[in-house]
Amino acid sequence: GNLYLDELHSSSKKQKSSSDIPFLNRFGVVGDLAATEIKLIIRNKRSKSAVIKSFIFILYGLLFYTNPKMAGQTTFFAPIFCGMLMTGIFIINYGQFMFGWQSSHFDGLLANKINTEDFFRSKFLLFTLFSSINLILSLPYVYFGWRILLMHTVMYLWNLGVNATLVLYFANRNFKSIDLSKSASFNWQGVGASQWILSIPLLLGPFVLFLPLHWMGFENLAIASIGIVGLGFIITRKFWISTLTNNFNNNRYLIAEGFRNK
């Protein structure tokens, strides 16, 4: 009951793959899981398409910040909306299909000796990595004012704190598999009710928090509240990971059964 084949050669020196990501090695098992998923993303059409789209969305701000007709709305609407999409589009676009990306080997994940909390930590690490890259790529928008950069940073915190947690919560209710080899164009495989429901809190959440304070005239406080809530979720991530883990353990066999029924 305690014998694992991968431990038979535990005394031998571990061989590193040429495709290892050295930066992630410092995170131990969590980094290994994140690196494995990055390889999955790079090697398959649909997952790779999700990443490419997330980088293309960096240009999304040009539709708003350079449009004079949006000048009256740019004070709050455009920076919040654009900042959320530009720094969190990977979380939204890729994360909404969790854990469908791994549906073909999900049974193997359940059978493997992987700590469930490490599994969720690797997802948060993956989200943090891509969102941080997108935040850095959006830095040139400071040309339109420091306020834009501030809003992008606030939405970065919101995405990593609130949206990342919401995405993984709904992932525990996603029972639809995905064929990674198929193109993303006009491909509705894996799309279910959970994706449509998820889009509501992801896109409207920060506005629900921002608008009441903005209408009362506390715009700076409204902006700060978004960042504070996002940072609060990041600080209390250990609690959310524990909650997600318990929820996953209750639903894992339902998820696996759904992935088998392709």
Q: What is the CA radius of gyration of the chain?
A: 20
pTM of the model: 0.81
Kindly write down the DSSP assignment for every residue of 41-95, as one continuous string: HHHSHHHHHHHHHHHHGGGGHHHHHT-GGGTTTTTTHHHHHHHHHHHHHHHHHHH
Q: How confident is the model at residue 129 (pLDDT cuts 50, 70, 90)?
A: very high
- And the tokens for 136? 């850095």
Lowest mean pLDDT among 69-78, 94-103, 124-133: 69-78
Tokens 């000048």: give the residue: 71
Query: 247 exposed, middle or buried (CB, 10 Å; 0-12, 13-18, 19+)?
Result: middle
State percent of the chain over pLDDT 70.
Answer: 82
Phi, psi torsion values for 176, nearest 5 degrees? -105, 130
Query: 201 exposed, middle or buried (CB, 10 Å; 0-12, 13-18, 19+)?
Result: middle
The reported pLDDT for the residue numbered 157 is 94
Q: What pLDDT digit, counting tens, does each position of 186-208 carry?
A: 444 445 555 667 777 777 888 88
* Distance of alpha carbon 195 from alpha carbon 228, whole angstroms: 27
Is there a contact between 84 and 206 (Cβ–Cβ < 8 Å)? yes
Q: What pLDDT digit, counting tens, does each position of 17-32 carry?
A: 444 677 788 888 888 8
Q: What pLDDT digit, counting tens, does each position of 59-86 carry?
A: 888 887 877 665 444 457 778 888 888 8
Is there a contact between 36 and 119 (Cβ–Cβ < 8 Å)? no
Is there a contact between 255 and 172 (Cβ–Cβ < 8 Å)? yes
